């Protein structure tokens, strides 16, 4: 299959709208279209068409028990695909939609089990991106869309990343440039007495507490307990992994720099091609290896935005091992570290 890449601007000119209509037609006919959202690029299909959903699993190589998030563009659409909307969820939608928040609801008959990975619940998000919202409308209003990467690889934050993974497998990619946030949405489940965060994201527990009061973190996400089972099926899989071995070094900044320098020289002595992930503040302090800055600690959003891109850059460079600082930054550090620890297979050196 030939994959067409269409450049679209967020201004949505008449020409852009025509391209989005064509993409919407592909979706309505049961085909796949990759598109930008504010979090990462999504791989879209008509969520109410079981055959279309199945194509997503095939293109990504995604395990069939890992459910898809349904993307909508308005609140009316939520009623059609859910059988119950808790009051707290309504408040959350009012505050955070459109935005990087996914909520889990009991599903209605309209949603096929192929879309929900066999579950009686459905995950729903209203993205805050003009191209995504226009495509959802053009494609029938209900677009199932996981991240547009091959399963297990870092999520795509640019159309070029999507093309590397999906070229020849899908008919169209809408290229809206680099995304703004760079990590996936926060997922919140309301089926327990106290709502639970199933995946940390840009919307933090503190932000949620301000709107609905108490919220818990899924105990299954605990990295200290290898027997813990995350409630979101997708969180149990190895994820976001670069080709190289990624090892995080955690501790006070000076000690981290010293340790990484030691580790790099040892790795190089044994003939390994080595990468280092630092920040604008520290990159000049690393003496060897291929050193890349992920962003600046004074603006933690930059770290989230560049995380997956930097892992893919090291893939291109064919390094054997990457040593990285750890980024437990104050606000979204929890979400960043959730992804980094998975990418590193939980290899952390404490200094």
**Interface residue list for ligand AMP (CB under 6 A):** 66-67, 69, 104, 116, 119, 121-123, 146-147, 184, 187, 198-199, 232-235
Distance of closest approach, residue 253 Cβ to ligand AMP, in angstroms:
32
Give the 3-state DSSP-derived string for the chain, with helices as H, strands as E and coil as C.
CCCEEEECCCCCCHHHHHHHHHHHHHHHCCCCEEECCCCCCEEEEECCCHHHHHHHHHHHCCCCCCCCEEECCCHHHHHHHECCCCHHHHHHHHHHCCCCEEEEEEECCCCCCCCCCCCCEEEEECCCCHHHHHHHHHCCCCEECCECCCCCCCCCCCHHHHHHHHCCCCCEEEECCCCCCCCCCEEEECCCCCCEEEECCCCCHHHHHHHHCCCEECHHHCCCCCCCCCCCHHHHCCCCCCCCEEEEEECCHHHHHHHHHHHHHHHHHCCCCEEEEECCCCHHHCCCCEEEECCECCEHHHHHHHHHHHHHHHHHHCCCEEEEECCCCCCCHHHHHHHHHHHCCCCEEEC
Residue with CB nearest ligand AMP? 234
Measure the CA–CA gap between 286 and 125, rounded to whole angstroms. Answer: 41
Of residues 147 through 206, those in contact with Mg ion by CB under 5 A are 147
For ligand AMP, the closer of residues 119 and 351 by Cβ is 119
Distance of closest approach, residue 267 Cβ to ligand AMP, in angstroms:
32
Distance of closest approach, residue 278 Cβ to ligand AMP, in angstroms:
27
Distance of closest approach, residue 339 Cβ to ligand AMP, in angstroms:
11
| Stretch binding Mg ion (CB under 5 A), from 100-108, 113-121, 144-152, 331-339 | 144-152
* Contacted entry of Mg ion, ligand AMP, none for residue 304, CB cut-off 5 to 8 Å set by kind: none
Distance of closest approach, residue 149 Cβ to Mg ion, in angstroms:
6
Measure the CA–CA gap between 204 and 222, rounded to whole angstroms. Answer: 17
Distance of closest approach, residue 117 Cβ to ligand AMP, in angstroms:
7
The 87-126 site mask, x for binding Mg ion (CB under 5 A), equals ----------------------------------------
Torsion sign, CA atoms 164, 102, 44, 113: positive
* Contacted entry of Mg ion, ligand AMP, none for residue 134, CB cut-off 5 to 8 Å set by kind: none
* Contacted entry of ligand AMP, Mg ion, none for residue 158, CB cut-off 5 to 8 Å set by kind: none
For ligand AMP, the closer of residues 183 and 256 by Cβ is 183
For Mg ion, the closer of residues 146 and 275 by Cβ is 146
* Contacted entry of ligand AMP, Mg ion, none for residue 93, CB cut-off 5 to 8 Å set by kind: none
Count of positions (residues) in the chain: 351
Size of the site for Mg ion (CB under 5 A): 2
* Contacted entry of Mg ion, ligand AMP, none for residue 121, CB cut-off 5 to 8 Å set by kind: ligand AMP
Tokens of 218: 């899924």
For Mg ion, the closer of residues 24 and 146 by Cβ is 146
Distance of closest approach, residue 262 Cβ to ligand AMP, in angstroms:
36
Phi-psi category of 289—alpha, beta or left, where left has phi over 0 and alpha has psi -120 to 50? left
Distance of closest approach, residue 258 Cβ to ligand AMP, in angstroms:
36
For Mg ion, the closer of residues 183 and 196 by Cβ is 183
For ligand AMP, the closer of residues 67 and 99 by Cβ is 67
Residue ranges that bind Mg ion, judged by CB under 5 A: 146-147
């Amino acid at each position: 299959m030939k994959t067409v890449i269409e450049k679209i601007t967020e201004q949505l000119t008449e020409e852009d709208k025509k391209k989005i209509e064509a993409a919407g037609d592909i979706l309505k006919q049961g085909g796949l279209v990759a598109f930008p959202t504010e979090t990462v690029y999504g791989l879209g299909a008509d969520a109410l068409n079981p055959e279309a959903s199945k194509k997503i699993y095939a293109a990504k190589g995604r395990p069939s028990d890992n459910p898809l998030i349904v993307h909508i563009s308005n609140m009316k659409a939520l009623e059609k695909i859910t059988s119950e909307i808790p009051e707290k969820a309504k408040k959350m939608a009012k505050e955070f939609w459109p935005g990087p928040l996914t909520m889990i609801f009991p599903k209605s008959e309209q949603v096929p089990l192929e879309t929900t990975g066999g579950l009686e619940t459905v995950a729903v998000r209203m993205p805050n991106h003009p191209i995504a919202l226009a495509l959802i409308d053009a494609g029938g209003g209900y677009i199932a869309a996981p991240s547009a990467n091959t399963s297990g690889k870092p999520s795509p934050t640019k159309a070029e990343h999507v093309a590397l993974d999906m070229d020849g497998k899908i008919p169209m990619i809408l290229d809206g440039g680099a995304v703004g946030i760079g990590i996936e949405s926060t997922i919140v489940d309301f089926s327990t007495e106290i709502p639970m965060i199933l995946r940390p994201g840009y919307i933090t527990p503190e932000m949620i507490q301000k709107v609905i009061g108490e919220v818990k973190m899924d105990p299954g996400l605990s990295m200290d307990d290898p027997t813990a089972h995350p409630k979101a099926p997708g969180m149990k899989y190895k994820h976001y992994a670069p080709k190289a071995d990624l090892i995080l070094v955690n501790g006070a900044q000076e000690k981290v720099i010293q340790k990484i320098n030691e580790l790099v020289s040892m790795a190089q002595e044994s003939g390994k091609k080595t990468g280092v992930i630092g920040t604008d503040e520290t990159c000049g302090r690393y003496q060897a290896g291929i050193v890349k800055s992920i962003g600046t600690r004074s603006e933690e959003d930059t770290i989230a935005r560049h995380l997956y891109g930097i892992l893919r850059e090291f893939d291109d460079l064919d390094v054997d091992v990457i040593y990285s600082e750890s980024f437990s930054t104050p606000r979204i550090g929890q979400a960043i570290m959730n992804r980094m620890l998975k990418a590193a297979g939980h290899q952390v050196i404490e200094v």
